[in-house]
Amino acid sequence: MGGASVVGRTTVTVQVNGQERRLELDSRVTLLDMLREHLELTGTKKGCDQGACGACTVLLDGRRVVSCLTLAAQCDGREVTTIEGLAPGGELHPLQEAFIRHDGFQCGFCTAGQIMSAVALLAEERAGSDAEIREFMSGNLCRCGAYPNIVAAIREIAQQGGGMP
């Protein structure tokens, strides 16, 4: 006979897209589920739920992380930026505009993760060549194979100085 398990609760205070949010969560909740289910920020996608596809990539204190493998409790006191946070007031980030210009998406499922990873790549100044872009974007998969267009969009913004507003 099995006994009842007790699930721990935790309070998480996190800056999400510049807004402080305080939530009481099951201690096992991932950052991805916190964003999607508790904060209704559905731009971040749940792909493989194993950290292999990059669809759930967000920025945590300016560094890219796969949110499906990051516990929400690990984010207490930290800053999270999602795809929604790149377009405050509806004005697109230069990288989002470049993805549109270069048709860097087809079905669009991976696009948010691709863009968030590319924003970090540009901030890290790791877009010196197409080979370098491909290497540092390799954790983000695209089922449709839009890789040449994604690289072209990132290259354009890198050549313009990184696209940070």
Decide if 80 contacts 35 (C-beta within 8 A): yes
Domain count, the chain: 2
Domain with 14 in it: what CATH number? 3.10.20.30
User: Mean of the per-residue pLDDT values for the chain?
Assistant: 93
Is there a single domain that holds both residue 95 and residue 75?
Answer: no
Is there a single domain that holds both residue 60 and residue 121?
Answer: no
Closest CA to 98 of 65, 80, 121, 131: 121
Query: Is residue 1 in a domain?
Result: no
Q: Which of 57, 86, 115 is the last residue of a domain?
A: 86
Closest CA to 144 of 120, 110, 118, 115: 110
Q: What is the average per-residue pLDDT within 102-131?
A: 96
pLDDT (0 to 100) of residue 101: 97
Is there a single domain that holds both residue 120 and residue 153?
Answer: yes
Closest CA to 152 of 95, 110, 106, 107: 95
Q: What is the domain range of residue 130?
A: 88-159
Statement: residue 5 has pLDDT above 70: no
38-66 confidence digits (pLDDT tens): 999 999 999 999 999 999 999 999 999 99
Closest CA to 58 of 47, 71, 68, 48: 68
pLDDT band at 37 (very low <50, low <70, confident <90, very high): very high
Is there a single domain that holds both residue 97 and residue 139?
Answer: yes
Is there a single domain that holds both residue 59 and residue 97?
Answer: no
pLDDT (0 to 100) of residue 1: 47
Is there a single domain that holds both residue 124 and residue 79?
Answer: no
Is there a single domain that holds both residue 18 and residue 78?
Answer: yes
Q: What is the average per-residue pLDDT within 85-114?
A: 94
Query: Is residue 105 in a domain?
Result: yes
Query: Is residue 3 in a domain?
Result: no
- Which pTM was predicted? 0.91
68-94 confidence digits (pLDDT tens): 999 999 999 999 999 999 988 889 999
Q: Which of 86, 116, 132 is the last residue of a domain?
A: 86
Is there a single domain that holds both residue 82 and residue 105?
Answer: no
Q: What is the average per-residue pLDDT within 142-156?
A: 96
Query: Is residue 121 in a domain?
Result: yes
Domain with 129 in it: what CATH number? 1.10.150.120
Is there a single domain that holds both residue 101 and residue 74?
Answer: no
Closest CA to 109 of 30, 43, 63, 51: 43
pLDDT (0 to 100) of residue 29: 98
